[in-house]
């Protein structure tokens, strides 16, 4: 019932090297994310425009279906590539991607018949660690792209978006770390210390 899509499409400009492939506690960071989320999925996909770099994962690799459309195009690719009704999308640079978050979100999306289960933190919405209903989200995202919109959440008015309250978020992600994406060598080192 659940597809998990790991997005490995970013530029890694602040890291100075491909952060998805940078060793995290001895293995590529993306492999850690895959291992953290694989127990909950019926299908695991990686979206990347450099599939040859990720062949070692032995997973289905999908390149951009809407090239040059930034993060919104990436989200479209993730949801369009999935074959299950619900799609958990996670970025490749989130070392604490949370199985518990997605399991809790899955129960909630089914119970409330929502289209999106998403957290809003001080940084805003967290679309790259969120759960989507494929059937309703895909046409809404496609319409936003066709209207030349670029914001990842440009299509939210067309969907039933269920925002998590701070209390729900605490129970979904007790560590409070699931949305942390490592962008610099310093953050990377700090995340490794915490992961130990």
Predicted confidence (pLDDT) per residue in 14-46, tens digit: 666 788 999 999 999 999 999 999 999 999 999
Q: Say yes or no to pLDDT of 170 above 80.
A: yes
29-37 vs 99-112: helix crossing angle, rounded to 10? 50
70-81 vs 134-146: helix crossing angle, rounded to 10? 150
Map residue 61 onto helix, strand or coil. strand
Report the CATH superfamily, name and number, of domain 2-195.
Spore Coat Polysaccharide Biosynthesis Protein SpsA; Chain A (3.90.550.10)
Show me where the domains of the chain are located.
2-195
Task: Point out which residues pair with 120 in neighbouring strands.
Answer: 125
Pairing, β 120-121 against β 124-125: antiparallel
Predicted TM-score (pTM) of the model is: 0.95
- What is the DSSP track for 10-71? ---TTTTS-TTTSEETTEEHHHHHHHHHGGG-SEEEEE-S-GGGGGGG-SEEE--SSTT-HH
Predicted confidence (pLDDT) per residue in 84-110, tens digit: 999 999 999 999 999 999 999 999 999
Map residue 20 onto helix, strand or coil. coil
Predicted local confidence at residue 123, as pLDDT: 86
């Amino acid at each position: 019932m659940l597809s998990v899509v790991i997005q490995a499409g970013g530029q890694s400009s602040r890291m100075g090297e491909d952060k998805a492939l940078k060793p995290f506690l001895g293995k590529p960071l993306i492999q850690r994310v895959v291992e953290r989320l694989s127990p909950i999925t019926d299908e695991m996909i990686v979206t990347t425009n450099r599939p040859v770099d990720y062949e070692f994962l032995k997973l289905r690799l999908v390149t951009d279906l809407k090239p040059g459309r930034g993060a919104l195009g990436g989200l479209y690719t993730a949801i369009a590539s999935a074959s299950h009704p619900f799609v958990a999308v996670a970025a490749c640079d989130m070392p604490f991607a949370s199985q518990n978050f997605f399991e809790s979100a899955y129960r909630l999306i089914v119970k409330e018949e929502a289209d999106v289960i998403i957290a809003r933190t001080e940084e805003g919405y967290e679309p790259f660690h969120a759960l989507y209903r494929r059937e309703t989200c895909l046409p809404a995202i496609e319409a936003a792209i066709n209207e030349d919109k670029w914001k990842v959440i440009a299509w939210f008015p067309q969907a039933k978006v269920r925002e998590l309250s701070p209390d729900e978020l605490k129970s979904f992600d007790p560590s409070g770390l699931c949305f942390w994406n490592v962008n610099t060598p310093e953050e990377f080192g700090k995340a490794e210390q915490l992961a130990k």
